[in-house]
Amino acid sequence: MTVFFYCQHYRVVKRYDIDKLITLNDVTVWIKEMSIENYRPGKRQQEMLSEYKGPWYLEAAQKLPRPLQIPFIKVCHLYTMPYEFDKEFGTLRVKGLYLYQPAGIIPEDHNSLRDLGIDIYLYDEEQRYYGRSMETQHHNPSNYYLFSLKGEMAPLHKNSYRVVIKDNRNNDLHSFIISPQWEKKTYTYFDRTPEQYQFDPFNIIHKFLSPLRQGKKEEGRKYILAGAEEKRVWAALDHGYWEMDGIDYVVYEERRGAYENVYSSNITFGHMPDTGGHPEDLVPVASQKIYFVIRDNSPLVIDADPVTVLSNRN
């Protein structure tokens, strides 16, 4: 019986990296990857999604002693049938980012590409249309959104797809063919799928920031881009403010010096109230801006401004 339910969590995902940039006046659409999966949510999971409800066992777990809650949830999740599998059809996704140009904060009323008047369409080689829904994610106050365009009931064995990006503001149309060379990966109950947006610049840059905040400076130092500026950049980063609390956000800068597709991490160091609190409760002491390029989902520091000590230092 356990083997049966274990197989209900067995998922095969085929991925293909794309890395295609389309510039539309003040917005750049960056297509990062395509994937197709041999499953879709089961009937009960679809009902819960439509009702914005989680599995019954999440509520039941809250009635148990805290040490038993996570083990109880894991056991219940194992003995479920969360997916329906199909040998012929699957869920097709195209994922990427859209970035404001020039670098700046996204207006509050712009929560998706469609708010900007931009649509993305996905077709197969027989001109059948996929892409019924789009999900977005944003780290406020960054100037980029992550998006995922999803198409259901897509054939698992197709050789090419066409992506069409339309700017409805001026009827600007961009179209290109993707002929994926799939990389196949199998996930199980014990080897879960990774986060939805593995290319998220915020999370990638934290591979550098986290070691410094944990006092592991030499581990962070390996992310400094080797070259003539390496010593100067590290000197700007080798300070004691990393020991403080901090908040940060990422901005797409487009270019810095000779480097293109540059991101900056904008960090504020300070103190949280003794009682704890939210990021906006941070009492600022200093700030710093660090510049990155991202290669193979790894952050490389190309430059860093000197630390600015703020006047309201406590």
User: What would the pLDDT profile of 134-177 be if each residue is shown by its tens digit?
Assistant: 888 888 888 888 999 988 878 878 788 999 998 888 888 899 99
Mean pLDDT confidence for 290-314: 88
Residues of the chain with CATH 2.60.40.1240: 2-42+81-197
Beta 172-178 vs 161-167: how paired, if at all?
A: antiparallel
Residues of the chain with CATH 3.10.450: 202-309
Mean pLDDT confidence for 89-109: 74
What φ, ψ does residue 219 adopt, rounded to 5°?
-70, -40
For 202-309, give the CATH class: alpha beta
Q: Give 7's pLDDT tier (boundaries 50, 70, 90).
A: very low
Residue-level pLDDT at 1: 47
Structure tokens given for 269: 């160091």
Distances (CA, A) of 37 to 86, 92, 226: 10, 7, 39
Lowest mean pLDDT among 62-76, 178-192, 210-224: 62-76
Candidates 2.60.40.1240, 3.20.20.70, 3.90.1300.10, 3.40.50.10090; CATH matching 2-42+81-197 = 2.60.40.1240
Distances (CA, A) of 83 to 101, 167, 220: 40, 36, 40
pTM reported for the whole predicted model: 0.77
pLDDT of 47 higher than 60: no
| CA-CA-CA-CA torsion sign (266, 269, 272, 276) | positive
Greatest CA span in the chain, whole angstroms?
65
Q: Contact 23/101 with Cβ under 8 angstroms?
A: yes
Of 162, 184, 188, nearest in space to 175 by CA = 162
Residue-level pLDDT at 143: 86
Q: Taking the CB of residue 145, how many other CB atoms lie within 10 A of it?
A: 22
For the purposes of burial, counting CB atoms within 10 Å of the CB of 192, is it exposed (0-12), middle (13-18) or buried (19 or more)?
exposed
The pLDDT tens digits for 22-36 are 988 778 899 999 998
